[in-house]
Amino acid sequence: MNNTGRNALLGLLALTVTGQAGSQDVFIYPQKGQSAEQQNKDEYECYQWARENSGFDPMAAPATSSPRPRTQEKSHGALKGAGVGAVGGALLGSSSKTTRRAAAAGGLIGGVRQHQHNSREQQRVDDWEQRETSAYANNRSNYNRAYAACLEGRGYTVK
C-alpha cells in the first residue's frame, strides 16, 4: 500500500474510532483526597499497566493488523467482449449483421463481467476496512477497561 493510501486509512480509523472523543475521554475523581501530583503519577502508571496488559497503546498512531487487500480493477471489459464477440460472429456467420450482433452481445457480457469483478474487489476492501476498524475499537475498549480498573483499584472514581 502506498503512503497516501496508508495515511488515508489510518485517518479513517482515527476518525471512525476516536471521532466520538467525548465518549472516549474519562473523568477521574480522587475518592481518597489524592493530590494532583499523586493523581498524575497514578494515571501514568495505570496508562503503562493498561498498555502492557491490553497490548494497545492509545498514544501510538493507529496501525492495521493486516495489509490492505490488493485489488486489480478490470477495465475495457465491454471493448474486449465486443472484440471477442465480433471474431466469434465472423467465424460463425457469414453476414456483417451476425458479426455486429455477436459484437454487441460480447460487449454486453464483457461489461457485466467487468462490473461484477470490480464490485467483488471493492467488497473485499470494504470488508477489510470494517474488520480493521472493529479490531481497533475492540482493542481500544480493552485498554479503556484496564485503565479504569487500575485507577479504581487505586481509589479513584472513573466515569
Q: List, as one string, the DSSP characters of the chain.
A: --HHHHHHHHHHHHHHHHS-HHHH---EEETT---HHHHHHHHHHHHHHHHHHHS--TTSPP--SSPPPP------HHHHHHHHHHHHHHHH-SSHHHHHHHHHHHHHHHHHHHHHHHHHHHHHHHHHHHHHHHHHHHHHHHHHHHHHHHHHHTTEEE-
The Cα–Cα gap between 7 and 1 comes to 10
Q: Are 10 and 61 in contact (CB under 8 A)?
A: yes
Least confident among 37-41, 90-94, 124-128: 90-94
Domain boundaries, the chain: 3-158
pLDDT digits (tens, 9 = 90+) for 131-159: 999 999 999 999 999 999 999 999 999 99
Q: Are 85 and 106 in contact (CB under 8 A)?
A: yes
The Cα–Cα gap between 136 and 142 comes to 10
pLDDT digits (tens, 9 = 90+) for 39-91: 999 999 999 999 999 999 999 988 887 788 777 666 666 667 666 655 666 66
